[in-house]
Chain A
Amino acid sequence: MGNASYLAVAFEGILLIGALVVLLVAVVAGRSRAVWAPIAGASFLLAALAGVLQWIEVENGGGGMFFSAQNLQVIKSPMVVLDGFSAMASIVLGLVGFTAMLGSWDLVAKVGKRSAEFVALSLLAFAGLHMMAATPNLVVIFIGLETASISFYVLAGFIRADVKSDESALKYFLLGSLASALFLYGIALTFAATGSLTIYGVNSIRDFFSETVVSDPGILLVGMALMLVGLMFKISAAPFHQWAPDVYQGAPSGAVGLMAAGVKIAGFAALGRIFVGGFISQIDTWGPIVAVIAALSMVIGTTMALVQTDMKRLVAYSGVAHSGYLLLTLLAGVEGMSAMWFYLATYPFMIVGTFAIISTVSGPTSTSSPIEAMRGLSRRSPEMGWLLAIFMFGMSGMPFFAGFVGKILAFIAAGDAGYIWLVVVATLTTVIGFAFYLRVVATVFSGEDDDTTMIDPTLSSRFAVVIGATVTVVFGIVPWILIDVVRDALPL
């Protein structure tokens, strides 16, 4: 095991060290934002590099399960798992975190001496997010979820001068804690029914299913349902989505991209790990429920997005619809995981890029951003206007953009699993969805000469937007590069 056991936790380790160094610098040297930029950037990039090393290790057959303390017989169940799934999560979270941090840098520059906290919390949150993807232990998944959630509650309320930011943080906190508690009770009931907290290893939940008869299927069913509901809250799938538009609108624009993208990736990674990795033998039980939630998410997200006047609420509702499309991939079981990772490797970059543009146009500390503010963006800042159009095309599922390929893969996965009616719903909502995405694009390219104040984006947000757009376009035109890679991103 040797090196590999450290490699398995390298992502968390690097981000933790990065956060500690940022706080240490803040203690010793006071406010020196110039120093934190390289630390934060290097942490995320090194973490992504660790992900690449993990990937190579897994490809060479070095993956597996690791224990908290290897020579001890105190706890026999594994705590960390190194497989294609967790390595892919490292790469994606590291790169998305790097891009989102670039997009948030305008906000970091605005919050003065509290900027060290912002950077440290972001780093810790992403460490928690990866824990959700890289552990077979349900309690560790919960701890990762809470590490990320608690950090994000703070980020949502970071602008204390604004009552909307406070309100957003309170809503996020109350509903998020409720979801966490439901998830945790689900874990406890699963533990009660199976006597195990682990998905893999000796006496795991999976062994339990394969070898013995479920002693109390009722308790297990409730446990599974509660875990599902808890995670559905986090990924804002309908009907558990009400918090998302309010929180997105009320939180400072500069911080939303970080929160929204990170939670989506890790939430689905945890869903994949628990339900496809652990409860795959019960797919006939949870499959129909997930299908109904997916259909509701697509329909409600699309219809509500049609009537929004605020850019951030629109992206939030479009995120609800995208959660629905992503849920389609879960229905196909292990075969759907590669489709899920293709989606998760492209869609978060569109979120991050869109919010970087919103933050540039409405200001990083702004708490609302009407779509009208985007009017004439193509002339006020041509690059931002064109790139926003690219993100909108990407999210809508226009051919030759990454969102199209992601959706097609998700539809194929659901079709293979036999949910033809769901594919029909998904296709219809995609077509309807074009309406509001194209409305934004039309606004960007309209407006004659009523407002000609030029917008000069900062270098960091420019980088964030360009990285996001590159991912959206490149993987839309030559998707097979990524498809070949994510084919191996499977849970153990």
Chain B
Amino acid sequence: MELVDYLPIALLTLLGIAFAGVSLVLARVLAPSNPTPEKLAPYECGIVPLQEPVQRFPVKFYLVAMLFVIFDVEIIFLFLWAVRMDQFGWAGIATVVAFMLMLIETLAYAWKRGALDWNVSHRTRTRRVVAPEATIEKAA
């Protein structure tokens, strides 16, 4: 493959960078700038923030998201079979059905263990306080 074939992609990349850069520069030049400490605060009215807000780890949908990733990627194996489906015949179909049954069984197990029920798992999790000793130490 010739490098010249990649010219449109390179042009598009340059165009994108140029557009973003020009927009930023124009906004900086044209917009009126009159900063005051109040304006730079996160909230212009209300109490003054004492510290940075705690970065919470959003784990609510984590379990479901991970299960999705697993089952999503496993489908790649079906792709391999589908490309040569006519050649594999009934043996291929039997293999794929067995494979799918295994996936379904693991999904059923995850379901049974409550991995898909994010409301219940969320409630049980909030009851467990995140690293209490660390929080107490920081507050003290």
Contact = CB atoms under 8 A, between A and B. Distances in A.
Contacts, number: 22
A24 B101 CA distance: 11
Interface string A271-291: 000000000000000000000
A27 B108 CA distance: 7
Interface string B97-125: 00000100110110011000000000000
Contact of A69 (B88, B112, B113): B88
B109 A27 contact: yes
A26 B109 contact: yes
A423 B92 CA distance: 53
A383 to B, nearest CB: 38
Given A23-B109, A26-B109, A27-B112, A72 B87 contact: yes
Interface residues of B, number: 12
Contacts of B105: 20, 23-24, 27
A34 interface: no
A213 interface: no
B39 interface: no
Given A26-B112, A27-B109, A69-B91, A20 B84 contact: no
A72 B109 contact: no
A27 B109 CA distance: 5
B14 to A, nearest CB: 33
A307 interface: no
Interface in A75-116: 113, 116
B84 A74 contact: yes
Contacts of B112: 26-27
B88 A72 contact: yes
A442 B106 CA distance: 49
A116 B106 CA distance: 12
Interface in B44-90: 84, 87-88
Contacts of B84: 72, 74
B interface: dominant SS: helix
Interface string A380-403: 000000000000000000000000
B88 A23 contact: no
A74 B106 CA distance: 30
Contacts of B113: 113
A344 to B, nearest CB: 30
B108 A74 contact: no
Nearest to A23: B109
B102 to A, nearest CB: 6
Contacts of B106: 23
B91 to A, nearest CB: 7
Nearest to B91: A69
A69 B109 CA distance: 30
B87 to A, nearest CB: 6
A343 B88 CA distance: 43
B102 A20 contact: yes
Contacts of B87: 72, 74
Nearest to A72: B87
Interface string A204-217: 00000000000000
Contacts of A26: 109, 112
A26 B108 CA distance: 10
A373 B92 CA distance: 57
A20 B103 CA distance: 10
A113 B112 CA distance: 11
Contacts of A69: 88, 91-92
A20 B105 CA distance: 8
A95 B111 CA distance: 33
Contacts of A113: 113
A74 B85 CA distance: 11
Interface in A16-33: 20, 23-24, 26-27
A27 B102 CA distance: 13
A74 B82 CA distance: 13
A491 to B, nearest CB: 28
B84 to A, nearest CB: 6
A26 B92 CA distance: 29
Contacts of B108: 27
A74 B80 CA distance: 11
Given A20-B102, A27-B105, A27-B108, 15 more contacts: A23-B105, A23-B106, A23-B109, A24-B105, A26-B109, A26-B112, A27-B109, A27-B112, A69-B88, A69-B91, A69-B92, A72-B84, A72-B87, A72-B88, A74-B87
Interface of A: 20, 23-24, 26-27, 69, 72, 74, 113, 116
The 9 closest A-B pairs by CB, nearest first: A23-B109, A27-B112, A27-B108, A27-B109, A74-B84, A72-B87, A23-B105, A20-B105, A24-B105
15 contacts: A23-B105, A23-B109, A24-B105, A26-B109, A26-B112, A27-B105, A69-B88, A69-B91, A69-B92, A72-B84, A72-B87, A72-B88, A74-B84, A74-B87, A116-B109
